[in-house]
Amino acid sequence: MPGQSADYSSTPLSKKLDENIQLFKSIFSKDSVLRFKRISVRGVCSYDCALFYMDGMVNVELLNESIVRPLLMVERERTEDSLINYITKQVLFASEAKATGSVADILRAVLYGDTLLLVDGCDEAITVNTKGWRTRGITEPDDEKVLQGPREGFDEAALLNLAMIRRKLLTPDFCTELLRAGRRSDTIIFICYLDSLADKKTLAEVKKRIQSLDIDGILDSNYITEQIRDHPCSIFKTTGATERPDVVAARLLEGRIAIVVDGTPVVVTVPYLFSENFQSDEDYYLNYIISSVGRVLRYLCFFMSISIPAIFIAAATFHKELLPTSLALSVTQLRGGVPFPPFAECLLLIFIFEILKETGVRMPQSLGHALSIVGGLVVGQAAVEARIISAPMLIVVALSGISGLMVPRLKGAVFYLRLIFVILSALFGLYGYIAGVALMLIHIFDLSSFGTSYTVSLADAGLQSLKDTFWRAPWSKMRTRPLFNSNIIRSREKKD
């Protein structure tokens, strides 16, 4: 059994209350937030008991009302054979109370916010659900804001996140399975899916990969995705990530599987397709004509972002005859006096742009805006006037960087592809760029996500498979789910 409780999996409870108290005090001897309370019950039945709980993780009011007060004011006659069953079923007011003799299970419950009730003369204990830790609250994710649509985002508490997903899917078909991972953190992980839609082989593969994890602790979902994803060295994501419950619900309705990790608001969805990189959360909340224009622009901006600097380098270095005469003369004139060759100049500007972008993201919001203005306008203009860089190259790299902001899910891939294409173009001209594009496409078509082809949406050129790929068709026309779940029809109407 993973986690801290594994050391006590074979430790038995005693029937003597004092020995049990001493056992748990010794286990948590260096934990200053453990709270202990001894209670003597004198009523219809007389017995001594003790409470253990973690301060800050329980709802104290709930603890007093559902455990302490019933024990001190019990008036019911005992009808159960076992004292533990009598207390659980006739005394306590708690909605969830469970008897167990496993010290490992008890430790796991106490560490997650439950209250432990020990009773003298019993070799079993009662764990009572009194969770009451504070949460950040429901807010809209900063990185996934929409102009129109739901404004709620996930919290760090997995149980709250599951409730938000269930509010979107009011069906008993919604299933959740609990797993644990992390030798020391013993992190709770929920596997969520719709039983009638999810592929059972994919589900089994997800559980197999999570159960095979060997890591000290899991503090975020990325700890998992880095180890369970297909092609871990690829620059393209093969697992989805979102902080929006509406996005997770939509993915589950397509037959995907969601991985909810306790302690992080980021939920992982699999399988993940290449076309999802160009989809926006609000594509389905706006008119389909407007959404389709935005999606086409994202595809264009992706290729512009990775291609414009490389094509400019190739044309300025090897293929000047491809440029119009007036443009070629203008570029040559503006480059006069610049000390760097086009290749070095382009690399320098790319790295400066990335530094400014990352600094603007990490800095406080007020300073970030000021930094963007100073770095982008003042420094850039001063560098051009000082003949350190040329104006055409500044325009090309700036246009490439701005285009890359249209596809935030591919920001890492865009940066690496831009560098690779620039290097190939500087060495081999347009032939190097074309070879780089061909290798990129081969790599993309070779990727997979949990057994599903990364480009499965392009495998069939039919209208139904493309109605949510390059554009967003109206809902009345999207009658089938993605091709990895193509045997399930969204509506009862005949397919196109």
Q: For the residues of 276-329, what is the DSSP string, one character each? A: GGG--GGGGTS-HHHHHHHHHHHHHHHHHHHHHHHHHHHHHHT-GGGS-HHHHH
Higher pLDDT pick, 431 / 479: 431
pLDDT digits (tens, 9 = 90+) for 313-332: 998 888 877 777 777 777 77
Helical (H) or strand (E) element with 99: strand 97-100
Give me the pLDDT at residue 371, please: 64
Higher pLDDT pick, 387 / 399: 399
pLDDT digits (tens, 9 = 90+) for 349-361: 888 888 877 777 7
Neighbours of 336 (CB within 10 A): 8
- φ and ψ of 128, to 5 deg: -115, 135
- φ and ψ of 155, to 5 deg: -110, 180
Tell me the pTM: 0.83
As a whole number, mean pLDDT of residues 337-358 equals 83
Q: For the residues of 40-65, what is the DSSP string, one character each? A: EE-SSS-EEEEEEEETTTB-HHHHII
Higher pLDDT pick, 167 / 487: 167
As a whole number, mean pLDDT of residues 464-476 equals 75
